[in-house]
Amino acid sequence: MTFKRNVDRLPIPPKDAKVQNVTCHFCIVGCGYKAYTWDVNRQGGTSAGSNAFGVDLSKQQASQTTNWFSPSMYNIVKQDGRDVHIVIKPDHGCVVNSGLGSVRGARMGELSFSETRGSQPQRLTDPLVWRYGALYPTSWEDALDLVAEVTRRVVEEQGEDGLIVSAFDHGGAGGGYENTWATGKLYFDSMKIKNIRIHNRPAYNSEVHGTRDMGVGELNNAYEDAELADTIFAVGTNALETQTNYFLNHWIPNLRGLSLQKKNNELPGETHKPGRIVFVDPRRTVTVNACEAEAGKDNVLHLAINSGTDLTLFNALVTYVAEQGWLDKEFIAASTSGFDAMLAANKTSLDDAAKITGLQVDDIKKAAAFIAEPKDGKRRRTMFAYEKGLIWGNDNYRTNQALVNLALATGNIGRPGGGCVRMGGHQEGYVRPDYPGGKPAPYVDQLLISGKGGVHHIWDCDHYKTTLNALEFKTVYKKRTDMVKDAMSSVPYGDRAAQVEAIMGAIRKGGLFSVDVDIVPTKIGQAAHVILPAATAGEMNLTSMNGERRMRLTERYMDPPGQAWPDCLIVAGLAQAFERSWRAAGKNDVADKFKGYDWKTEEDAFMDGYHAHATGGQYVTYESLRAMGTNGFQEPAVAFENGKIVGTKRLFADGKFNSKDGKATFMATQWRGLQAEGKQQEKDKFTFLVNNGRTNHVWQSAYLDQQDDFVMGRWPLPFIDMNPDDMQALNLEQGDLVEVYNDNGSTQAMVYPTPTARPKETFMLFAFPTGPVGNVVSKGVNELIIPNYKQTWANIRKIASAPEVTRQLTFKSQEYMPPT
């Protein structure tokens, strides 16, 4: 049956409830929230004078009220050791979301750790070590000393390349400036670790090297630009489900015509109409449907290309735009270089593009007109937005560049209503010393699979769910870590010297010692020998920036579970343990490299990192950020005036880009088919495209959602969207369990009939704990080790008819239907 909370009332926040700034710790958008907390033995009343909202709560509140919160926004948590009620509710004063809460962020309350109410009982409360055949609690000192001792011994024997690291590099939960700085300082400054990878890809690389190498940073506009654009050109982004409130609060008003006044005010002297939108996506998404409902089909163009052929489309568009004379010649001359060479190299006819992409020539022409046909003699303003469909798609580097070519040629970067931006996944929060490795960086998964390295430090990553070639990775990883587990079990735990000897003996035979830092037990954590419990946003003060570089401070509103620490303070403890270990080994010169971690709080790490090292960081402190509330400021900071941090609305507004001569560089980006090794053969051999990505209810790998009854009641298993004719051919009914398999591995999913899915083109939920699609994604990457998740082909066969857990689900279309 459908999950219901059976909650029919909630405690009322009293007038004097404490109110703190919160930025949602999930996606890149970073919606503003407020945390209300008050003592568990108190509550407010319904009269206006007795509650925090100052209104009569005995009355029904109107739609979009600021005076209501849902059961999912409520919990009882510990604050400074005392039980308090907490409500984490969207902030109407935040310009990002204007009071909107998504189905993910508006559950931050119930996803908080509560001993009283039993929410998130999975949260790690103590350091754990492998002893007597299982993971058992130990002290921080014991755990850190073991990690430091084994790591030192491995580095002594194998050099620093023997230490392999997986670490977050982003903002929000499991990241933030405090924690990226701390881990960066440890691994890139105190040590020079090259063999490091990021949570969703197997090397230490940008997902958007392409645009950066052209001098164009990828987060270069303001969310307001989506309200000002004549056209939004959206590539491989499903914004309604993955950047929900950016889409709802800034794209939709433009399509509805609600931003016309803003356009007229801010951009006088040109004609303005409600916005139009172009989607490039092989799949029809709920985002396309919502845009059609709002703007009408005439103003929405969905280019349902053949999977992986985006590059050819962009080259054809730039060719056609140039032929029509729709270029921004002044901008090209003043702010760019290499245009003529790019145009010559990338010349692609409409017919050739139509053949490769599967599109109609007229639709490509129409897209070009939407993008660049002058309006009353003035340049059309187009915002280019892209995300994982491009980033994790075929030929990432060139495709990214081909899109930026188009944006530059039409003068749409650094201008109001423009921008060529990635939409983003997590928030950002990167400040680190320079990475000591090269470019391309080492393919870390392949190092681990080939037996390299002796010790692996994992910071808030779960490769079993979120890497490519996941089945082989898991198989080898388990084997290598089991060798160490068996060795550890062979000697008494209390004999540290013997333990370390046993571990080193196993490592010399190909074993791997695994240290996992996380907030919850992960799938890869099953292989770990030491697990260290971390705090998440709100359990610590945490800073991050969103997709328009808007930086905010989430204030600490509750205690971490048990003995959990902020990641940055775990780093500090580990660094100090390294110093002790190296000194005891008589290597004082090495030990001295681990000085400088005498942080007592996350604020100390912030001051050591962001404040001292980020561009404009000198203007930014916790105190100044607190005063900036949920609106914060847009990075980089350029001044501190009248008690406020002054930021930067959009980058490159002066026409100067990130290069020596200040010019953006056009790039030659010729089509070369399916670029990653083995992809074409896979396509030829297997029947179904297994496109993959996110869904609305779930944040990331469901690491918290897996204990949320509301979410698991909707998605107990990963779905695979299939065309009904394909289902019939395989004798499948809705909710049936299928195996998805190819030469890379196999995984499971439940069938969701999807009439809009093209025949032989499926879409499967990504990174889900009960069926990781990564098992069937090949190890093929691009020249900079960017994975190619989207172009995966496999066969499908039935495992079982719909089990009880899927029979309870609705399988109706997810597309909104307006009244008829």
Partner 1 sequence: MRKCDNLIDAGRRQFLRGAATAAAGGVAAGALISPRPAEAKTALARVDYPTQKLGNVKDLKVDTPVDITYPDPDSPGVLLKLGNPVEGGVGPDGDIVAFSTMCPHKGFPLNYVAADKTLNCPGHYSRFDCEKGGQEIWGQATQNLPQFQLRVDANGDIHATAVDELIYGRLNNVLKA
Residues numbered 74 to 133 that lie near partner 1 (CB under 8 A) are 74, 76, 100-103, 106-107, 110, 114, 116-119
Considering the rule CB under 8 A, would residue 244 count as an interface residue with partner 1?
Answer: yes
Question: Which 712-731 positions form the footprint of partner 1 (CB under 8 A)?
Answer: 713-714
Q: Which is nearer to partner 1, 563 or 696 (CB)?
A: 696
Q: Which is nearer to partner 1, 218 or 294 (CB)?
A: 294
Among 819, 670, 809, smallest CA distance to 750 is for: 809
**Which regions of 488-570 does DSSP assign to beta strands (E)?**
513-518, 530-533, 542-545, 550-554
Asked if residues 128 and 530 have their Cβ atoms less than 8 Å apart, the reply is yes
Q: Which residues pair with 456 in a beta bridge?
A: 164, 514
Q: Which is nearer to partner 1, 41 or 731 (CB)?
A: 41
Asked if residues 116 and 83 have their Cβ atoms less than 8 Å apart, the reply is yes
Considering the rule CB under 8 A, would residue 293 count as an interface residue with partner 1?
Answer: yes
Considering the rule CB under 8 A, would residue 70 count as an interface residue with partner 1?
Answer: yes
Least CB distance from residue 598 to partner 1, whole Å? 41
Q: What is the DSSP letter of 160?
A: G
Q: Which stretch binds partner 1 (CB under 8 A): 204-212, 267-275, 647-655, 806-814?
A: 806-814
Q: Which residues contact 499 (CB under 8 A, 6 or more apart)?
A: 146, 488, 491, 492, 493
Beta-strand relationship, 455-459 and 420-422: unpaired
Considering the rule CB under 8 A, would residue 589 count as an interface residue with partner 1?
Answer: no
Least CB distance from residue 122 to partner 1, whole Å? 14
Least CB distance from residue 245 to partner 1, whole Å? 9
- Binding test (CB under 8 A) with partner 1, winner from 55, 71, 496, 687: 71
Considering the rule CB under 8 A, would residue 163 count as an interface residue with partner 1?
Answer: no
Residue 465 tokens read as: 């769910």
Give the CB-side neighbour count of residue 56, counting CA atoms within 13 A. Answer: 3
Q: Which is nearer to partner 1, 9 or 660 (CB)?
A: 9
Least CB distance from residue 753 to partner 1, whole Å? 12
Question: Which 636-655 positions form the footprint of partner 1 (CB under 8 A)?
Answer: none
Residue 602 tokens read as: 């996350």
Considering the rule CB under 8 A, would residue 734 count as an interface residue with partner 1?
Answer: no
Least CB distance from residue 96 to partner 1, whole Å? 15
Q: Which is nearer to partner 1, 624 or 814 (CB)?
A: 814
Within its chain, how far is the Cα of 596 from the centroid? 31
Least CB distance from residue 814 to partner 1, whole Å? 4
Beta-strand relationship, 688-693 and 761-765: parallel
| DSSP output for 637-687 | P-EEETTEEE--SSTTTTS--SSTTS-EE-------SS-STTHHHHHHH-S
Considering the rule CB under 8 A, would residue 248 count as an interface residue with partner 1?
Answer: yes
Considering the rule CB under 8 A, would residue 360 count as an interface residue with partner 1?
Answer: no
Considering the rule CB under 8 A, would residue 808 count as an interface residue with partner 1?
Answer: yes
| DSSP output for 715-762 | -SS-EEEE-HHHHHHTT--TT-EEEEEETTEEEEEEEEE-TTSPTTEE
Q: Which stretch binds partner 1 (CB under 8 A): 165-173, 276-284, 568-576, 809-817?
A: 809-817
Asked if residues 751 and 739 have their Cβ atoms less than 8 Å apart, the reply is no
Considering the rule CB under 8 A, would residue 598 count as an interface residue with partner 1?
Answer: no
Least CB distance from residue 37 to partner 1, whole Å? 14
Count of residues making up the chain: 820
- Binding test (CB under 8 A) with partner 1, winner from 28, 239, 240, 280: 240
Q: Which stretch binds partner 1 (CB under 8 A): 267-275, 285-293, 475-483, 573-581?
A: 285-293
- Binding test (CB under 8 A) with partner 1, winner from 19, 68, 212, 769: 68
Asked if residues 773 and 792 have their Cβ atoms less than 8 Å apart, the reply is yes
Considering the rule CB under 8 A, would residue 310 count as an interface residue with partner 1?
Answer: no
Considering the rule CB under 8 A, would residue 819 count as an interface residue with partner 1?
Answer: yes
Least CB distance from residue 770 to partner 1, whole Å? 18
Q: Which is nearer to partner 1, 75 or 221 (CB)?
A: 75
Torsion of CA 311, 313, 317, 323, to 10 degrees: 100
Question: Which 3-62 positions form the footprint of partner 1 (CB under 8 A)?
Answer: 3-12, 40-43, 46-47, 57-62
Within its chain, how far is the Cα of 228 from the centroid? 26
Asked if residues 146 and 129 have their Cβ atoms less than 8 Å apart, the reply is yes
Asked if residues 139 and 127 have their Cβ atoms less than 8 Å apart, the reply is yes
Question: Which 684-713 positions form the footprint of partner 1 (CB under 8 A)?
Answer: 696-697, 709-710, 713
| DSSP output for 126-137 | S-EEEETTEEEE
Least CB distance from residue 761 to partner 1, whole Å? 20
Q: Which is nearer to partner 1, 62 or 344 (CB)?
A: 62
Considering the rule CB under 8 A, would residue 458 count as an interface residue with partner 1?
Answer: no
Nearest-10 crossing angle of helices 496-508, 140-158: 40
What is the size of the binding site for partner 1 (CB under 8 A)?
72
Least CB distance from residue 151 to partner 1, whole Å? 40
* Most distant CA atoms of the chain, gap in Å: 82
Cα distance between residue 26 and residue 29, in whole Å: 8
Least CB distance from residue 247 to partner 1, whole Å? 10
- Sequence letter at residue 483: M
Least CB distance from residue 126 to partner 1, whole Å? 22
Q: Which is nearer to partner 1, 11 or 562 (CB)?
A: 11
Instruction: Calculate Rg over the CA atoms of the chain.
Output: 26
